[in-house]
Structure 1
Amino acid sequence: MASEFQRAYRGAIRIKSWKSPELFFVGLYPNCRALFVFGQSSNHNAYAENAKVVTRFNMNKKMINGVEDVVITPGWFLREDGTKPNSKDILRRPKRGPVWDMKGVRRILEERGLGHQDELKKQGKHWNARCGSIPVADRSCCRFHLLAAQPDFLEQKAMLHLVIIDAGHLFSLYPKYYC
């Protein structure tokens, strides 16, 4: 059920006295639940720094400093027998200090049983690292599109979405093209 009022705030809301990181709606309407609807601005689809986004991965492993660099959220996947492996599949820690190895796309796909490089080599075919195009229906055009189609990567939500849902409100985006 929609409320009796609707407030359309266009652009930045400049409330100079507002210093709280909480949603301004909570201060204006306490004990109410809101539906926040946003347009398709690229800002509204921005991910958190630690989000699992395929474009943040390299093909091979990458050394990161756990103190200075952002550590990606651990991933998960379902095996053929229906079990979920341990969530340490995205990062593994070597024995030396705060330096970690972030697994690359190739290794993640191999651990999930999706790295078909050997089969393609036997057939004389080559699997592109990045195709740079719109993915085909089964997402098998390249390794990056195949990894992006995995459930743990698909369930990743934009940071704005997470903040609003965590505050107990509803979130929606307008369609890409609307009148």
Structure 2
Amino acid sequence: MVDNSQGHSAYSEDALLVSRMNVKPGGKQAHMRDGWFMRDGVKVIQQMVYPPDHPEFPNEPKGMKAVLAECGLSQQRLRGKCKKCESDSLACCYKRILELQADFQEQKSLMQEVIESMGHLSIFLLKFTAS
């Protein structure tokens, strides 16, 4: 059991976090671990980094647009990121579509990953504020 602390919400360097991605390939963005998506009932592993033999972006992170295109979720004419997404919107921008995908939703904090890698379950207590 772990108390609620901001330090407990830190993520590993290769975590699947949309906030660490650009819309386009390359640039200053994280090299993330593989993700996944479902196609015709089959789980498909998705690499988030282009392979070393890629003609244009060898060993570079793919970016949101390319990741969504590979999943079959590419939508033209969307913004990369909204200043503030509407809570009920499912497709206002690339960021929103991607953060709603199961592999990104399943991303756990670094502390949860460490605890669970040791074969333990983690319970994070609620944060209470004095009023």
TM-score (norm 2): 0.82
Residue 33 of structure 2 corresponds to which residue in structure 1? 73
Shift of 1:157: 0.4
What is the alpha-carbon root mean square deviation over aligned residues? Answer: 2.4
* CA deviation profile, 1:20-41 (whole Å, cap 9, x unmatched): xxxxxxxxxxxxxxxx2221x2
Give the Cα–Cα distance (whole angstroms) in 2 for the partners of residues 134 and 177 of structure 1. 27
Aligned with 2:103: secondary structure?
helix
Whether the aligned pair in 2 keeps the contact of 1:63 and 1:100 (CA below 8 Å) is no
Shift of 1:136: 2.6
Please tell me the residue identity of whatever aligns with 2:24: N
Structure 1 position 103 matched with structure 2 position 62: yes
Task: Choose the corresponding residue for 1:153, options 99, 104, 107.
Answer: 104
Residue 89 of structure 1 corresponds to which residue in structure 2? 47
Bigger radius of gyration: 1
Whether the aligned pair in 2 keeps the contact of 1:38 and 1:174 (CA below 8 Å) is yes
**What residue ranges of structure 1 are gaps of 5+ in the alignment?**
1-35, 118-125
Aligned with 1:163: secondary structure?
helix
Give the Cα–Cα distance (whole angstroms) in 1 for the partners of residues 102 and 128 of structure 2. 26
How many residue pairs end up in the alignment? Answer: 127
**What residue ranges of structure 2 are gaps of 5+ in the alignment?**
none
Give the Cα–Cα distance (whole angstroms) in 2 for the partners of residues 44 and 135 of structure 1. 27
Give the Cα–Cα distance (whole angstroms) in 1 for the partners of residues 99 and 26 of structure 2. 19
Shift of 1:134: 4.3
* CA deviation profile, 1:7-54 (whole Å, cap 9, x unmatched): xxxxxxxxxxxxxxxxxxxxxxxxxxxxx2221x22111100111111
TM-score (norm 1): 0.62
Task: Choose the corresponding residue for 2:117, options 141, 166, 173.
Answer: 166
